[in-house]
Each structure stands twice: as C-alpha cells, then as structure tokens.
Amino acid sequence: MPLRVGFSLFRKEMLEKALQGIEELLPILGVEKVILVGDMVTGNFNPESSIDLVVVHKTDLPFGRRADFFSYHLDANVAVDTQVYTPEEFERLQDTLPALHHACQNGRIIYEA
C-alpha cells in the first residue's frame, strides 16, 4: 500500500506543476474564464488523473473542434482535458447542462479576465 500512496502524491505534484505552467499561459490565450474540475479539485488522484478544465472562450469553431486550440497551446507533460464554451453558451447552459452546472458549483475558478 505505501507504493500507491507515494504514487498518488507524485501524481498530485506532477499535476500541480503542470497546472502552474498552464495558469501562466491563460492570460495570453484570450480566455474569459477557466474552471478547474475533476480529480485536482476532489483530491482523489490516481494514475489516470488529468487536468480537467472548463474554458470560456470566444470562438467560431464548432464545439467538437474547440479543444484542439488548447491541446496545442497548453503543451503539458500530463493529460489536459478541456470543455470549451463560448461566453453566450456558458451563460445560457450553466444552470441547465448538468456537467456545466456541477463545474460551476464544485469547481475552482483558476482564471477570470
């Protein structure tokens, strides 16, 4: 069991270090708001833990292609998963889309312009 506890702490440190680098980039990427969700908020780290972000960003790209921009620019040594909403979608859906509502209620805002 000590190996697993040690690995969880190691994974947490890896994710936190990568998140620091991401937070430094957010102001220059033109995002309006970023909410951290998932294992980094709950503290339940495992080998598959990633950095999970809800991003509010003005874009004309279709929903399925929006994460590509952030995959390219948020080059981290850990998995970074993004759900990207336009400001209008975010306002309209934050109370009706269950996953987005959960992010707004339980996530941690890491950037807001």
Which sequence spans correspond to the domains of the chain? 2-112
Task: Name the CATH superfamily, with its identifier, for domain 2-112.
Answer: Beta Polymerase, domain 2 (3.30.460.10)
pLDDT along the chain (113 residues), means of 10: 64 93 94 97 90 97 93 88 97 96 97 96
pLDDT at 3: 44
pLDDT at 8: 81
pLDDT at 77: 87
pLDDT at 53: 97
pLDDT at 7: 75
DSSP output for 12-41: HHHHHHHHHHHHHHGGGTTEEEEEEETHHH
pLDDT at 76: 82
pLDDT at 75: 78
pLDDT at 2: 44
Within 13 Å of residue 22, how many CA atoms lie on the same side as its CB?
29
In angstroms, rounded to a whole number, what is the distance separating the alpha carbons of residues 58 and 98?
Answer: 22
pLDDT at 46: 86
